[in-house]
Amino acid sequence: MTKISKPTSNGATVTPTVNPKSVARCGIPAPSAKGRNNVKLRLAENAAELLAANPMPAQAQAILFELDKLGGAATTRELLDALASKESSLSTTQTPERILTFYRKKLIDADMLIAN
């Protein structure tokens, strides 16, 4: 059985470790200023009444509660940070990103949350 030799560049592919100029082309998109973290979310004026009329799961309520604690409006990143904090009302083993992604559309469709 022959041993595998140390990898060398044969020119077939260019990796960022071989050519630092290729880092921008490595297939990983750069963060965008227009990404979802900068999207402003705010509570609807009648969110409390809508929540009373249309009960939501506790995790969706936690999203609304934390946004209300932030003054009723915040960027997605600020809301995620609030949901991840130890003082958060969100109680789950899943990440806040996953919870917000799951409930975001439902809350917007229920007119409780407004995305700008």
- Give the tens place of pLDDT for each residue, 1-43: 344 334 444 454 444 455 555 555 555 555 555 567 788 999 9
- The yes-or-no verdict on residue 79 having pLDDT over 90 is yes
In eight-state DSSP terms, residue 26 is S
pLDDT of residue 30: 54
- The yes-or-no verdict on residue 92 having pLDDT over 50 is yes
The per-type count for the chain, helices as H runs and strands as E runs, is 4, 3
pLDDT of residue 52: 85
What is the domain partition of the chain in residue ranges?
39-115
Higher local confidence (pLDDT), 26 or 110: 110
Cα distance between residue 38 and residue 35, in whole Å: 6
Q: Burial letters for 44-62: b for 16+ Cβ neighbours within 10 Å, e otherwise?
A: beebeebbeeeebeebbbb
Q: Burial level of 88, CB count in 10 A (0-12/13-18/19+)?
A: middle
Residue type, 8: T
pTM to 2 decimal places = 0.69
